[in-house]
Amino acid sequence: MSVLVGKKAPVFRTQAVINGSEIVENFSLADYTGNKYVVFFFYPADFTFVCPTELIAFQNKLKAFEERNAVVVGASTDSAVSHWKWLQTPKNDGGIQGVTYPIVADHALTISMAYDVLAGKFTTDEDGSVIFKGSPEAYRGLFLIDKSGIVRHQVVNDMPLGRSVDEILRVIDALQFTEEYGEVCPADWHKGDKGLSATQEGIADYLSEK
């Protein structure tokens, strides 16, 4: 598994569904560079079980991301048409109707491979034929990308393990705190808590209060 933290986020242009209904042809995270923080997350597949709980949870907290100048973008290896159909399906029928943030189509698997979250790989058999081993789906990878296009945080869950949207908001708060004040964030830091200076004295002062 590649560690992308501290590196430029892989660039792509592909189909995506935006605003819950519109298929666009050349969607790219690079369009946000210089203006927005990006929460880019992968999920295994449309029309499954854990996935709609995550996508709807992100939608329910979308205002909190917007207040932090952050956009949310989802992605899976399904086609744009599959995304569109899922977005038109009511929640009580297993759909995600009402989700408005972009959902990227990675039907060619190239984006999942670039972010190293694909649960399988292309290889060759004993006859030299190209085959795919594993599952052509993405693990639950998530990448926080800053306004310069640099990955600052990543986490990858196995497919049965849903993520905490509140934890992602906490990490955005921590990143923005360090950018604004130049201090670092200790364990379990939340917005409104004190930071600490990255010095021996700063650490000692912080620990003495615990």
Q: How many whole angstroms separate alpha carbon 126 and alpha carbon 128? A: 5
Contact 23, 102 (CB under 8 A): no
What is residue 29's DSSP assignment?
Answer: G
Starting at the edge strand found earlier in the chain, the sheet holding 14-18 runs 22-27, 14-18, 103-105, 70-76, 37-42, 140-145, 151-157
Those residues whose C-beta lies under 8 Å from the C-beta of residue 27, and which sit 6 or more positions away, are 13, 14, 15, 16, 18, 102, 104
Q: Does residue 185 have an active-site annotation?
A: no
Q: How many whole angstroms separate alpha carbon 167 and alpha carbon 134? A: 30
* Nearest alpha-carbon partner for 161 in 137, 141, 136, 133: 141
Torsion angle in degrees (nearest 10) through CA of 15, 16, 18, 20: 120
Catalytic residue among 51, 165, 174, 185: 51
Q: Which two tokens stand for residue 35?
A: 């203006």
Q: Active-site residue numbers?
A: 51
